[in-house]
Amino acid sequence: MKYFSLNNNSKDVGFIEAIERGLAPDRGLYFPKEIPQLSNHFFKNIKRYTDSEIAFRVIHPFIGNDIPKNILKEIIKKTLKFNFPIVNVSKNIASLELFHGPTLAFKDVGARFMANCLSYSNKIKNKKITILVATSGDTGGAVANGFFKLKNIDVVILFPKKKVSVIQEYQLTTLGKNITALEVEGSFDDCQNFVKNAFIDPDLQQKINLTSANSINVGRWLAQMFYYFSAYRDLPKTDKKVVISVPSGNFGNICAGLVSKKMGLPINHFIASTNSNDTIPRYLNSGEYKPKKSKQTISNAMDVSDPSNFIRIQKLFNNDLFGLKKSVSAYSYSDKQTEKAIREIYKLKNYIIDPHGAIGYLGLNDFINSKTDPENFQGLFLETAHPIKFSKTIENIINQKIQIPKEIKNILKKKKMSIPIKDYNQLKSFLIAK
């Protein structure tokens, strides 16, 4: 499989080179030259396959000969060491829990897969790589954990000051060793722009080998397909139309879902559920892409006004807005609506969801109820992070303490370490000095 830049001004590369670069030299995101199709036989027999077997069949066409099959299978086994349970919330709505990995967030899948792919590459090439990543919440912790202590790999994480939860900050600032956290005076969009600028800075390109572990990296992005296929396998056999609601910030996760659909996964429709950072819902309504300054919300991982991965979604649909709207709907919700959903689900099912999952639930509920035949739909919303990460907010809403998992108890005993920066020049100076 070859990958080309969506800016169309760089040479095509293979999978390993794409993940090593992160962004193409022309600052474009890499995109596969083709979307492979899976056979009807595979889907008819999907219940026979394990998570690892499904993941191999899904990802191997995107990697080709860049990683030998036996090594790829081992990478997948190391990645998928936890489950993705489905929990019923109502008659035709269920939660897909993606927070059972080591950092209690869905991003563990992509981060662990990419880390193991780069580790394989490094054993062959024996060169030092610096991973530069921006985080609005869970990415930082997942990447830090996935790459911790890997030989010849340094990780530099940029996070917006006072705009991630306390637990998220502990997860990305307490490891030390090859992990460094930079606390940025600004928003996630500022952090993301710093990262993009670093990749096209000729001074840095001459001095260090940079790549990114954000979902702009194909290794992080494509691995998120794994749980869509596993979830489809685990749903009860039904003639109902399957719809999936994805809490969406940088739009990498829903983009992976849409690639899965293009490969043949029988998902009827996707819903992009956002907080008040509503660039995409407005775009689907008006046809005009107009990002605004990002707003801080209680669903902080989605506080993104200009989502990097949306250009990939546009490419999937050949910039056909009408075609995109046939497969994707988008809704946005305020903090008050999010809090109300958390409260109602807890009272109804004694089930605690985090603010991002609550927004996914709201989008799914509104979509199904907008149909004349809601009983003919089976909906899944993604519960992307463990509620403990937002304990202060959630406990105030439900008037109930959340039990702290042992993984978090251990982290809270550690000392936070971060370096404050205000602008790109400070980031550049730090990277050169490092």
Predicted local confidence at residue 402, as pLDDT: 94
Residue 127 included in any domain: no
Residue 337 included in any domain: yes
CATH number at residue 266: 3.40.50.1100
Q: How many domains does the chain contain in total?
A: 1
Cβ–Cβ under 8 Å, residues 100 and 83: yes
* Structure tokens belonging to residue 18: 């794409």
Residue 231 included in any domain: yes
Chain centroid to CA 347: how far?
29
Task: Just list the catalytic residues.
Answer: 107
Predicted local confidence at residue 278, as pLDDT: 97
Residue 28 included in any domain: no
Residue 243 included in any domain: yes
Exposure b/e, 409-427, CB count within 10 A at least 16 = b: eebeeeeeebeebeebebb
Return the HEC string of the chain. CCEEECCCCCCCECHHHHHHHCECCCCCEEEECCCCCCCHHHHHCHHHCCHHHHHHHHHHHHHHHHCCHHHHHHHHHHHCCCCCCEEEEECCEEEEECCCCCCCECHHHHHHHHHHHHHHHHHHHCCCEEEEEECCCHHHHHHHHHHCCCCCEEEEEEEECCCCCHHHHHHHHCCCCCEEEEEECCCHHHHHHHHHHHHCCHHHHHHCCEEECCCCCHHHHHHHHHHHHHHHHHCCCCCCEEEEEEECCCCHHHHHHHHHHHCCCCCCEEEEEECCCCHHHHHHHHCCCCCCCCCCCCCHHHCCCCCCCHHHHHHHCCCCHHHHHHHEEEEECCHHHHHHHHHHHHHHHCCCCCHHHHHHHHHHHHHHHCCCCHHHEEEEEEECECHHHHHHHHHHHHCCCCCCCHHHHHHCCCCCCCEEECCHHHHHHHHHHC
Say how far apart CA 125 and CA 121 lie, in whole Å. Answer: 6
Residue 366 included in any domain: yes
Residue 409 included in any domain: no
Chain centroid to CA 139: how far?
7
Predicted local confidence at residue 113, as pLDDT: 96
pLDDT block averages, 10 residues each, the chain of length 434: 96 95 90 97 96 98 97 97 95 95 93 93 84 85 90 93 89 93 92 88 88 88 98 92 96 97 97 98 96 92 92 97 97 98 95 97 97 95 95 95 88 93 95 87
Domain, as residue range, for 251:
84-105+221-403
Residue 384 included in any domain: yes
Predicted local confidence at residue 200, as pLDDT: 83
Q: Give 370-375's long-range contacts (Cβ < 8 A, gap of 24+).
A: 374/92, 375/92
